Structure 1
Amino acid sequence: MPVPTRVTTRAVATSALSAAVAVAAYFGTEPLTAVAGALVILLALGWAPLLRLPARGGTTVVVAIAGLGGVAVAYATRGEPVLRHLPVVIAMALVLAFVAEMLRRGGRARLVESVSGTVTGVVVAVASAGWVAAGRTEAGADLVVTSAVGLAVASAVAALPVARGWAGSLVGVVLGGAAAAGAATVVPSVDLVTGAVAGVVTGLVAAVLRLLFERQPALAGRLPTLSAIAVPVAVSGILVFAVGRLVLA
Protein backbone atom coordinates (compact mmCIF):
# COMPACT_ATOMS: atom_id res chain seq x y z
CA MET A 1 0.00 0.00 0.00
CA PRO A 2 1.40 3.46 -0.88
CA VAL A 3 2.58 5.46 2.12
CA PRO A 4 1.04 8.95 2.56
CA THR A 5 3.40 11.88 2.30
CA ARG A 6 4.94 12.65 5.67
CA VAL A 7 3.37 15.38 7.80
CA THR A 8 6.76 17.06 8.12
CA THR A 9 7.16 17.34 4.35
CA ARG A 10 3.73 18.89 3.90
CA ALA A 11 4.29 21.20 6.86
CA VAL A 12 7.53 22.58 5.46
CA ALA A 13 5.97 23.03 2.02
CA THR A 14 2.95 24.86 3.45
CA SER A 15 5.28 27.07 5.46
CA ALA A 16 7.26 27.90 2.31
CA LEU A 17 4.05 28.69 0.42
CA SER A 18 2.95 31.01 3.23
CA ALA A 19 6.31 32.75 3.08
CA ALA A 20 5.81 33.21 -0.67
CA VAL A 21 2.52 35.01 0.05
CA ALA A 22 4.30 37.33 2.49
CA VAL A 23 7.08 38.12 0.01
CA ALA A 24 4.61 38.71 -2.81
CA ALA A 25 2.55 41.09 -0.67
CA TYR A 26 5.69 43.07 0.12
CA PHE A 27 6.29 43.67 -3.60
CA GLY A 28 2.73 44.73 -4.42
CA THR A 29 -0.77 43.71 -5.46
CA GLU A 30 0.22 42.17 -8.79
CA PRO A 31 2.71 39.65 -7.34
CA LEU A 32 0.25 38.84 -4.57
CA THR A 33 -2.47 38.20 -7.16
CA ALA A 34 -0.12 35.92 -9.09
CA VAL A 35 0.66 33.88 -5.98
CA ALA A 36 -3.05 33.64 -5.14
CA GLY A 37 -3.65 32.32 -8.67
CA ALA A 38 -0.88 29.76 -8.21
CA LEU A 39 -2.57 28.63 -4.97
CA VAL A 40 -5.77 28.00 -6.93
CA ILE A 41 -3.95 25.93 -9.55
CA LEU A 42 -2.20 23.78 -6.93
CA LEU A 43 -5.47 23.25 -5.13
CA ALA A 44 -7.46 22.42 -8.27
CA LEU A 45 -4.94 19.92 -9.61
CA GLY A 46 -5.19 17.63 -6.62
CA TRP A 47 -8.61 18.34 -5.13
CA ALA A 48 -10.52 15.54 -6.87
CA PRO A 49 -7.96 12.78 -6.09
CA LEU A 50 -7.55 14.15 -2.54
CA LEU A 51 -11.26 13.58 -1.91
CA ARG A 52 -11.31 10.54 -4.23
CA LEU A 53 -14.10 12.03 -6.33
CA PRO A 54 -15.33 10.12 -9.41
CA ALA A 55 -15.27 12.93 -12.01
CA ARG A 56 -11.73 14.22 -11.68
CA GLY A 57 -11.52 16.16 -14.91
CA GLY A 58 -14.75 18.09 -14.39
CA THR A 59 -13.97 18.86 -10.76
CA THR A 60 -10.51 20.15 -11.63
CA VAL A 61 -11.85 22.48 -14.33
CA VAL A 62 -14.69 23.85 -12.19
CA VAL A 63 -12.50 24.47 -9.13
CA ALA A 64 -9.80 26.15 -11.23
CA ILE A 65 -12.23 28.41 -13.07
CA ALA A 66 -14.01 29.43 -9.87
CA GLY A 67 -10.79 30.11 -7.96
CA LEU A 68 -9.10 32.05 -10.74
CA GLY A 69 -12.34 33.96 -11.32
CA GLY A 70 -12.50 34.93 -7.66
CA VAL A 71 -8.89 36.11 -7.64
CA ALA A 72 -9.42 38.09 -10.86
CA VAL A 73 -12.57 39.74 -9.52
CA ALA A 74 -10.83 40.69 -6.26
CA TYR A 75 -7.97 42.22 -8.24
CA ALA A 76 -10.20 44.09 -10.68
CA THR A 77 -12.69 45.46 -8.15
CA ARG A 78 -12.11 49.06 -7.12
CA GLY A 79 -13.73 50.66 -4.12
CA GLU A 80 -15.53 49.11 -1.17
CA PRO A 81 -16.47 46.41 -0.46
CA VAL A 82 -13.65 44.67 -2.30
CA LEU A 83 -15.35 41.29 -2.44
CA ARG A 84 -18.82 42.51 -3.41
CA HIS A 85 -18.78 40.52 -6.67
CA LEU A 86 -17.51 37.28 -5.15
CA PRO A 87 -21.02 35.83 -4.51
CA VAL A 88 -21.68 36.07 -8.25
CA VAL A 89 -18.52 34.06 -8.94
CA ILE A 90 -19.58 31.36 -6.47
CA ALA A 91 -23.12 31.26 -7.87
CA MET A 92 -21.86 30.82 -11.43
CA ALA A 93 -19.44 28.14 -10.23
CA LEU A 94 -22.33 26.22 -8.66
CA VAL A 95 -24.13 26.25 -11.99
CA LEU A 96 -20.92 25.12 -13.69
CA ALA A 97 -20.59 22.26 -11.20
CA PHE A 98 -24.02 20.94 -12.16
CA VAL A 99 -23.26 21.37 -15.86
CA ALA A 100 -20.08 19.33 -15.37
CA GLU A 101 -22.13 16.55 -13.76
CA MET A 102 -24.63 16.61 -16.64
CA LEU A 103 -21.75 16.07 -19.06
CA ARG A 104 -20.59 12.96 -17.23
CA ARG A 105 -21.12 9.58 -18.81
CA GLY A 106 -21.34 6.07 -17.52
CA GLY A 107 -24.28 6.41 -15.15
CA ARG A 108 -22.97 9.33 -13.07
CA ALA A 109 -21.93 7.16 -10.14
CA ARG A 110 -21.67 8.81 -6.69
CA LEU A 111 -23.44 11.89 -8.00
CA VAL A 112 -24.12 13.56 -4.63
CA GLU A 113 -20.58 12.96 -3.45
CA SER A 114 -19.18 14.39 -6.68
CA VAL A 115 -21.30 17.54 -6.56
CA SER A 116 -20.69 18.22 -2.88
CA GLY A 117 -16.95 17.64 -3.26
CA THR A 118 -16.74 19.96 -6.24
CA VAL A 119 -18.71 22.70 -4.47
CA THR A 120 -16.46 22.41 -1.43
CA GLY A 121 -13.43 22.79 -3.67
CA VAL A 122 -15.00 25.88 -5.24
CA VAL A 123 -15.42 27.53 -1.84
CA VAL A 124 -11.86 26.72 -0.78
CA ALA A 125 -10.42 27.95 -4.09
CA VAL A 126 -12.40 31.19 -4.03
CA ALA A 127 -11.14 31.79 -0.48
CA SER A 128 -7.71 32.47 -2.03
CA ALA A 129 -9.11 35.79 -3.26
CA GLY A 130 -9.11 36.88 0.37
CA TRP A 131 -5.35 37.45 0.20
CA VAL A 132 -5.81 39.94 -2.63
CA ALA A 133 -8.70 41.60 -0.81
CA ALA A 134 -6.70 41.75 2.42
CA GLY A 135 -4.00 43.61 0.52
CA ARG A 136 -6.63 46.24 -0.29
CA THR A 137 -7.70 46.82 3.31
CA GLU A 138 -6.56 49.73 5.43
CA ALA A 139 -3.53 47.80 6.68
CA GLY A 140 -2.83 46.44 3.19
CA ALA A 141 0.39 44.51 2.69
CA ASP A 142 1.28 44.81 6.38
CA LEU A 143 -1.73 42.71 7.33
CA VAL A 144 -0.94 40.08 4.69
CA VAL A 145 2.71 39.85 5.69
CA THR A 146 1.90 39.61 9.39
CA SER A 147 -0.74 36.91 8.89
CA ALA A 148 1.39 34.91 6.45
CA VAL A 149 4.29 34.93 8.91
CA GLY A 150 2.00 33.51 11.59
CA LEU A 151 0.76 30.81 9.23
CA ALA A 152 4.30 29.95 8.14
CA VAL A 153 5.46 29.49 11.73
CA ALA A 154 2.36 27.52 12.77
CA SER A 155 2.82 25.21 9.78
CA ALA A 156 6.55 24.79 10.37
CA VAL A 157 5.93 23.67 13.96
CA ALA A 158 4.23 20.54 12.61
CA ALA A 159 7.61 19.47 11.22
CA LEU A 160 9.10 19.27 14.70
CA PRO A 161 9.38 15.81 16.30
CA VAL A 162 7.61 17.00 19.48
CA ALA A 163 4.60 18.41 17.58
CA ARG A 164 2.29 15.44 17.58
CA GLY A 165 -1.46 15.25 18.19
CA TRP A 166 -3.63 17.98 19.66
CA ALA A 167 -0.96 19.18 22.07
CA GLY A 168 1.51 19.79 19.26
CA SER A 169 -1.17 21.55 17.22
CA LEU A 170 -1.95 23.88 20.11
CA VAL A 171 1.74 24.71 20.41
CA GLY A 172 1.69 25.61 16.73
CA VAL A 173 -1.30 27.92 17.26
CA VAL A 174 0.39 29.69 20.16
CA LEU A 175 3.69 30.09 18.33
CA GLY A 176 1.90 31.24 15.18
CA GLY A 177 0.10 33.93 17.17
CA ALA A 178 3.33 34.98 18.84
CA ALA A 179 5.18 35.16 15.53
CA ALA A 180 2.44 37.26 13.93
CA ALA A 181 2.39 39.56 16.96
CA GLY A 182 6.15 39.92 16.68
CA ALA A 183 5.87 40.73 12.99
CA ALA A 184 3.22 43.34 13.82
CA THR A 185 5.74 45.24 15.92
CA VAL A 186 7.91 45.97 12.88
CA VAL A 187 5.17 47.09 10.46
CA PRO A 188 3.41 50.45 10.78
CA SER A 189 -0.21 49.56 9.99
CA VAL A 190 -0.89 46.52 12.19
CA ASP A 191 -1.01 46.67 15.99
CA LEU A 192 0.06 43.92 18.35
CA VAL A 193 -3.48 42.67 19.08
CA THR A 194 -4.46 42.46 15.41
CA GLY A 195 -1.25 40.60 14.61
CA ALA A 196 -1.84 38.12 17.42
CA VAL A 197 -5.47 37.53 16.34
CA ALA A 198 -4.45 36.99 12.72
CA GLY A 199 -1.69 34.61 13.77
CA VAL A 200 -3.98 32.57 16.02
CA VAL A 201 -6.66 32.33 13.32
CA THR A 202 -4.24 31.14 10.64
CA GLY A 203 -2.56 28.86 13.17
CA LEU A 204 -5.89 27.21 13.96
CA VAL A 205 -6.46 26.61 10.25
CA ALA A 206 -3.06 24.96 9.92
CA ALA A 207 -3.62 22.83 13.04
CA VAL A 208 -7.10 21.62 12.13
CA LEU A 209 -6.20 20.75 8.55
CA ARG A 210 -3.03 19.00 9.63
CA LEU A 211 -5.06 16.72 11.92
CA LEU A 212 -7.70 16.26 9.22
CA PHE A 213 -5.18 15.13 6.59
CA GLU A 214 -2.94 13.17 8.97
CA ARG A 215 -4.24 9.73 7.96
CA GLN A 216 -5.62 10.50 4.52
CA PRO A 217 -4.65 7.57 2.23
CA ALA A 218 -4.93 9.71 -0.91
CA LEU A 219 -1.86 11.68 0.18
CA ALA A 220 0.32 8.90 -1.22
CA GLY A 221 -0.11 10.64 -4.60
CA ARG A 222 1.68 13.77 -5.77
CA LEU A 223 -1.34 15.77 -6.91
CA PRO A 224 -3.36 15.21 -3.70
CA THR A 225 -0.28 16.22 -1.73
CA LEU A 226 -0.02 19.49 -3.67
CA SER A 227 -3.64 20.22 -2.88
CA ALA A 228 -3.22 19.41 0.82
CA ILE A 229 -0.22 21.74 0.97
CA ALA A 230 -2.17 24.60 -0.62
CA VAL A 231 -5.45 24.22 1.30
CA PRO A 232 -4.35 25.89 4.59
CA VAL A 233 -2.92 28.87 2.73
CA ALA A 234 -5.96 29.22 0.49
CA VAL A 235 -8.51 29.01 3.32
CA SER A 236 -6.53 31.48 5.44
CA GLY A 237 -6.90 34.16 2.77
CA ILE A 238 -10.57 34.89 3.41
CA LEU A 239 -10.09 34.61 7.18
CA VAL A 240 -7.26 37.13 7.14
CA PHE A 241 -9.47 39.51 5.18
CA ALA A 242 -12.22 39.06 7.79
CA VAL A 243 -9.77 39.80 10.61
CA GLY A 244 -8.66 42.94 8.81
CA ARG A 245 -12.22 44.18 8.40
CA LEU A 246 -13.42 43.30 11.88
CA VAL A 247 -10.41 44.11 14.05
CA LEU A 248 -9.11 47.11 12.13
CA ALA A 249 -12.54 48.60 11.39
Structure 2
Amino acid sequence: MQLATRAVVTAALAAAVAVAGYVGGLTLTIASALLALVFALGWPALVGLPFRVGSSVVVAIGGIGSVIVVHLTDAQPYLRFLPLVLAGAVLLSFLNELVRRDGRERLVESVSGTVAGTLVAVASAGWVATGRTPGGEPLVVVGALALAVGSVVVALHLARWLGAVVTSVAAAAAGAFGGALLPDITVRPGLLLGLAVGVLVATLHALFDQLPSLERRWPSLAAVTLPVTVTGTLVYVVGRVLVG
Protein backbone atom coordinates (compact mmCIF):
# COMPACT_ATOMS: atom_id res chain seq x y z
CA MET A 1 0.00 0.00 0.00
CA GLN A 2 1.47 3.34 -1.04
CA LEU A 3 2.05 6.17 1.42
CA ALA A 4 -0.67 8.36 -0.07
CA THR A 5 -3.18 5.52 0.16
CA ARG A 6 -2.24 4.79 3.77
CA ALA A 7 -2.62 8.48 4.61
CA VAL A 8 -6.11 8.61 3.12
CA VAL A 9 -7.20 5.43 4.93
CA THR A 10 -5.86 6.70 8.28
CA ALA A 11 -7.63 10.02 7.77
CA ALA A 12 -10.87 8.18 6.94
CA LEU A 13 -10.55 6.06 10.09
CA ALA A 14 -9.93 9.18 12.16
CA ALA A 15 -13.02 10.80 10.64
CA ALA A 16 -15.03 7.70 11.51
CA VAL A 17 -13.82 7.93 15.11
CA ALA A 18 -14.82 11.61 15.17
CA VAL A 19 -18.33 10.69 14.06
CA ALA A 20 -18.48 7.85 16.59
CA GLY A 21 -17.27 10.23 19.30
CA TYR A 22 -19.95 12.74 18.40
CA VAL A 23 -22.62 10.03 18.61
CA GLY A 24 -21.01 8.56 21.73
CA GLY A 25 -22.01 5.55 23.78
CA LEU A 26 -21.88 2.07 22.29
CA THR A 27 -20.99 3.40 18.84
CA LEU A 28 -17.61 4.67 20.04
CA THR A 29 -16.98 1.43 21.92
CA ILE A 30 -17.63 -0.67 18.82
CA ALA A 31 -15.41 1.58 16.70
CA SER A 32 -12.56 1.30 19.23
CA ALA A 33 -12.89 -2.49 19.42
CA LEU A 34 -12.80 -2.78 15.61
CA LEU A 35 -9.65 -0.64 15.53
CA ALA A 36 -7.97 -2.95 18.03
CA LEU A 37 -9.05 -6.03 16.06
CA VAL A 38 -7.78 -4.79 12.68
CA PHE A 39 -4.52 -3.68 14.24
CA ALA A 40 -4.08 -7.08 15.91
CA LEU A 41 -4.56 -8.92 12.61
CA GLY A 42 -1.76 -7.01 10.92
CA TRP A 43 0.74 -6.21 13.68
CA PRO A 44 2.70 -9.52 13.69
CA ALA A 45 3.23 -9.31 9.93
CA LEU A 46 4.16 -5.62 10.15
CA VAL A 47 7.06 -6.27 12.54
CA GLY A 48 7.87 -9.79 11.35
CA LEU A 49 6.96 -11.85 14.42
CA PRO A 50 7.60 -15.60 14.04
CA PHE A 51 4.24 -16.94 15.34
CA ARG A 52 1.74 -14.59 13.77
CA VAL A 53 -1.54 -16.33 14.53
CA GLY A 54 -0.84 -16.64 18.25
CA SER A 55 0.47 -13.08 18.52
CA SER A 56 -2.61 -11.73 16.72
CA VAL A 57 -4.88 -13.57 19.14
CA VAL A 58 -3.06 -12.18 22.19
CA VAL A 59 -3.05 -8.61 20.86
CA ALA A 60 -6.74 -8.84 19.91
CA ILE A 61 -7.75 -10.16 23.32
CA GLY A 62 -5.79 -7.41 25.06
CA GLY A 63 -7.17 -4.63 22.87
CA ILE A 64 -10.81 -5.70 22.72
CA GLY A 65 -10.75 -6.72 26.37
CA SER A 66 -9.50 -3.29 27.40
CA VAL A 67 -12.24 -1.57 25.40
CA ILE A 68 -14.93 -3.73 27.03
CA VAL A 69 -13.51 -3.19 30.52
CA VAL A 70 -13.45 0.60 30.09
CA HIS A 71 -16.98 0.54 28.68
CA LEU A 72 -18.22 -1.40 31.71
CA THR A 73 -16.35 0.65 34.32
CA ASP A 74 -19.03 2.68 36.07
CA ALA A 75 -17.01 5.55 37.56
CA GLN A 76 -13.85 7.56 37.00
CA PRO A 77 -11.00 6.97 36.49
CA TYR A 78 -12.18 4.79 33.64
CA LEU A 79 -8.73 3.39 32.91
CA ARG A 80 -8.09 2.07 36.42
CA PHE A 81 -8.56 -1.59 35.47
CA LEU A 82 -6.36 -1.48 32.38
CA PRO A 83 -3.24 -2.66 34.27
CA LEU A 84 -5.12 -5.89 35.06
CA VAL A 85 -6.02 -6.39 31.40
CA LEU A 86 -2.46 -5.70 30.34
CA ALA A 87 -1.06 -8.06 32.97
CA GLY A 88 -3.35 -10.82 31.72
CA ALA A 89 -2.24 -10.15 28.16
CA VAL A 90 1.42 -10.41 29.18
CA LEU A 91 0.70 -13.81 30.72
CA LEU A 92 -1.06 -14.82 27.51
CA SER A 93 2.02 -13.78 25.52
CA PHE A 94 4.07 -16.32 27.48
CA LEU A 95 1.37 -18.95 27.03
CA ASN A 96 1.48 -18.15 23.32
CA GLU A 97 5.14 -19.18 23.26
CA LEU A 98 4.42 -22.44 25.09
CA VAL A 99 2.03 -23.61 22.37
CA ARG A 100 4.55 -23.00 19.59
CA ARG A 101 5.88 -26.13 17.86
CA ASP A 102 8.49 -24.49 15.64
CA GLY A 103 11.45 -24.73 18.01
CA ARG A 104 10.59 -21.33 19.53
CA GLU A 105 13.15 -19.48 17.49
CA ARG A 106 13.48 -15.71 18.17
CA LEU A 107 11.73 -16.22 21.49
CA VAL A 108 12.61 -12.85 23.03
CA GLU A 109 11.66 -10.99 19.86
CA SER A 110 8.34 -12.82 19.74
CA VAL A 111 7.43 -12.04 23.36
CA SER A 112 8.53 -8.41 23.23
CA GLY A 113 6.80 -7.81 19.90
CA THR A 114 3.55 -9.34 21.13
CA VAL A 115 3.60 -7.29 24.33
CA ALA A 116 4.41 -4.11 22.39
CA GLY A 117 1.50 -4.76 20.05
CA THR A 118 -0.77 -5.35 23.01
CA LEU A 119 0.22 -1.99 24.49
CA VAL A 120 -0.79 -0.28 21.26
CA ALA A 121 -4.09 -2.16 21.05
CA VAL A 122 -4.91 -1.37 24.68
CA ALA A 123 -4.45 2.33 23.89
CA SER A 124 -7.64 2.22 21.81
CA ALA A 125 -9.60 2.10 25.09
CA GLY A 126 -8.60 5.73 25.58
CA TRP A 127 -11.21 6.77 23.02
CA VAL A 128 -13.92 5.12 25.10
CA ALA A 129 -12.63 6.64 28.34
CA THR A 130 -12.55 10.10 26.78
CA GLY A 131 -16.05 9.75 25.38
CA ARG A 132 -17.41 8.68 28.77
CA THR A 133 -15.78 11.57 30.62
CA PRO A 134 -18.15 14.52 31.17
CA GLY A 135 -17.49 16.98 28.36
CA GLY A 136 -15.25 14.45 26.65
CA GLU A 137 -17.10 14.14 23.34
CA PRO A 138 -15.58 17.37 21.95
CA LEU A 139 -12.12 16.07 22.89
CA VAL A 140 -12.70 12.93 20.84
CA VAL A 141 -13.84 14.98 17.85
CA VAL A 142 -10.96 17.48 18.11
CA GLY A 143 -8.35 14.75 18.58
CA ALA A 144 -9.69 12.74 15.65
CA LEU A 145 -9.88 15.87 13.47
CA ALA A 146 -6.25 16.74 14.24
CA LEU A 147 -5.26 13.14 13.50
CA ALA A 148 -7.06 13.17 10.15
CA VAL A 149 -5.36 16.39 9.06
CA GLY A 150 -1.94 15.30 10.32
CA SER A 151 -2.24 11.94 8.57
CA VAL A 152 -2.89 13.64 5.22
CA VAL A 153 -0.16 16.25 5.60
CA VAL A 154 2.49 13.71 6.64
CA ALA A 155 2.17 12.10 3.20
CA LEU A 156 3.48 15.22 1.46
CA HIS A 157 6.88 14.76 -0.12
CA LEU A 158 8.92 17.04 2.12
CA ALA A 159 12.28 16.76 3.82
CA ARG A 160 11.97 14.63 6.95
CA TRP A 161 12.47 17.43 9.45
CA LEU A 162 10.32 19.89 7.47
CA GLY A 163 7.58 17.29 7.08
CA ALA A 164 7.52 16.71 10.85
CA VAL A 165 7.20 20.45 11.52
CA VAL A 166 4.50 20.98 8.89
CA THR A 167 2.55 17.95 10.14
CA SER A 168 2.67 19.16 13.74
CA VAL A 169 1.63 22.70 12.79
CA ALA A 170 -1.22 21.49 10.58
CA ALA A 171 -2.56 19.16 13.27
CA ALA A 172 -2.30 21.96 15.85
CA ALA A 173 -4.23 24.31 13.55
CA ALA A 174 -6.91 21.65 13.04
CA GLY A 175 -7.17 21.17 16.80
CA ALA A 176 -7.49 24.91 17.37
CA PHE A 177 -10.16 25.12 14.67
CA GLY A 178 -12.12 22.31 16.29
CA GLY A 179 -11.73 23.92 19.71
CA ALA A 180 -13.16 27.17 18.36
CA LEU A 181 -16.20 25.48 16.83
CA LEU A 182 -17.20 22.92 19.46
CA PRO A 183 -18.75 23.58 22.87
CA ASP A 184 -17.09 22.67 26.19
CA ILE A 185 -13.61 23.19 24.74
CA THR A 186 -11.65 26.31 23.78
CA VAL A 187 -8.97 27.16 21.24
CA ARG A 188 -6.00 26.71 23.60
CA PRO A 189 -6.73 23.09 24.66
CA GLY A 190 -7.61 22.26 21.06
CA LEU A 191 -4.33 23.75 19.85
CA LEU A 192 -2.22 21.86 22.40
CA LEU A 193 -4.09 18.61 21.80
CA GLY A 194 -3.66 18.98 18.05
CA LEU A 195 0.05 19.68 18.49
CA ALA A 196 0.50 16.54 20.59
CA VAL A 197 -1.34 14.48 17.98
CA GLY A 198 0.74 16.00 15.19
CA VAL A 199 4.00 15.15 16.92
CA LEU A 200 2.76 11.58 17.43
CA VAL A 201 1.79 11.21 13.76
CA ALA A 202 5.16 12.54 12.58
CA THR A 203 7.01 10.21 14.97
CA LEU A 204 5.08 7.11 13.90
CA HIS A 205 5.66 8.02 10.27
CA ALA A 206 9.41 8.20 10.85
CA LEU A 207 9.39 4.86 12.70
CA PHE A 208 7.33 2.72 10.33
CA ASP A 209 7.26 4.30 6.88
CA GLN A 210 10.38 2.54 5.57
CA LEU A 211 9.42 -0.99 6.61
CA PRO A 212 9.45 -3.32 3.58
CA SER A 213 6.46 -5.24 4.96
CA LEU A 214 4.22 -2.27 4.11
CA GLU A 215 4.10 -3.55 0.54
CA ARG A 216 1.69 -6.26 1.75
CA ARG A 217 -1.96 -5.86 2.72
CA TRP A 218 -2.15 -6.92 6.37
CA PRO A 219 0.93 -5.03 7.54
CA SER A 220 -0.45 -1.95 5.78
CA LEU A 221 -3.75 -2.30 7.63
CA ALA A 222 -1.89 -2.40 10.93
CA ALA A 223 0.12 0.67 9.91
CA VAL A 224 -2.97 2.73 9.03
CA THR A 225 -4.80 1.82 12.25
CA LEU A 226 -1.77 2.26 14.52
CA PRO A 227 -1.91 6.10 14.72
CA VAL A 228 -5.67 6.05 15.35
CA THR A 229 -5.31 3.42 18.07
CA VAL A 230 -2.44 5.09 19.92
CA THR A 231 -4.09 8.51 19.76
CA GLY A 232 -6.96 7.22 21.92
CA THR A 233 -4.99 7.22 25.15
CA LEU A 234 -3.07 10.36 24.14
CA VAL A 235 -6.35 12.27 23.77
CA TYR A 236 -7.55 11.00 27.14
CA VAL A 237 -4.35 11.95 29.00
CA VAL A 238 -3.97 15.36 27.34
CA GLY A 239 -7.66 16.06 27.80
CA ARG A 240 -7.50 15.25 31.51
CA VAL A 241 -4.54 17.62 31.93
CA LEU A 242 -5.92 20.50 29.87
CA VAL A 243 -9.65 20.26 30.43
CA GLY A 244 -9.98 18.19 33.60
Give the structure-2-normalised TM-score: 0.97
Answer yes or no: is the 8 Å Cα contact 1:158–1:164 preserved in 2: no
CA displacement at 1:212 relative to structure 2: 1.3
Partner of 2:146: 150
CA displacement at 1:138 relative to structure 2: 3.0
SS of residue in 1 equivalent to 2:71: helix
What are the superposed Cα offsets for residues 198-232 of structure 1, whole Å, 9 maximum, x if unpaired? 11111111111111122100111100000000000
What are the superposed Cα offsets for residues 27-60 of structure 1, whole Å, 9 maximum, x if unpaired? 1221111110111111001100101000101100
Say yes or no: does 1:76 pair with 2:49.
no
Partner of 2:236: 241
What are the superposed Cα offsets for residues 51-91 of structure 1, whole Å, 9 maximum, x if unpaired? 10001011000000000000001111111111111110000
Q: How many residues align?
A: 244
Partner of 1:53: 49
Say yes or no: does 1:40 pair with 2:26.
no
Partner of 1:115: 111
Partner of 1:8: 4
Answer yes or no: is the 8 Å Cα contact 1:178–1:199 preserved in 2: yes
User: What letter corresponds to residue 152 of structure 2 in structure 1?
Assistant: A
Distance 1:128 1:172 in 2: 22
Distance 2:210 2:102 in 1: 31
Say yes or no: does 1:171 pair with 2:176.
no
CA displacement at 1:123 relative to structure 2: 0.3
Answer yes or no: is the 8 Å Cα contact 2:2–2:215 preserved in 1: no
Partner of 1:136: 132
Answer yes or no: is the 8 Å Cα contact 1:9–1:159 preserved in 2: no
Q: Which residue of 175, 192, 200 maps to 1:205? A: 200
Distance 2:198 2:25 in 1: 24
Say yes or no: does 1:215 pair with 2:234.
no
Q: Select between 184-193 and 43-52 the one with higher mean Cα deviation.
A: 184-193
Answer yes or no: is the 8 Å Cα contact 1:26–1:145 preserved in 2: yes
Answer yes or no: is the 8 Å Cα contact 2:44–2:55 preserved in 1: yes
- Which sections of structure 2, spanning at least 5 residues, go unmatched? none
Give the structure-1-normalised TM-score: 0.96
Answer yes or no: is the 8 Å Cα contact 2:45–2:52 preserved in 1: yes
Instruction: Provide runs of 4+ in structure 1 moved above 6 Å.
Output: none
Partner of 1:65: 61
CA displacement at 1:169 relative to structure 2: 2.0
- Which sections of structure 1, spanning at least 5 residues, go unmatched? none
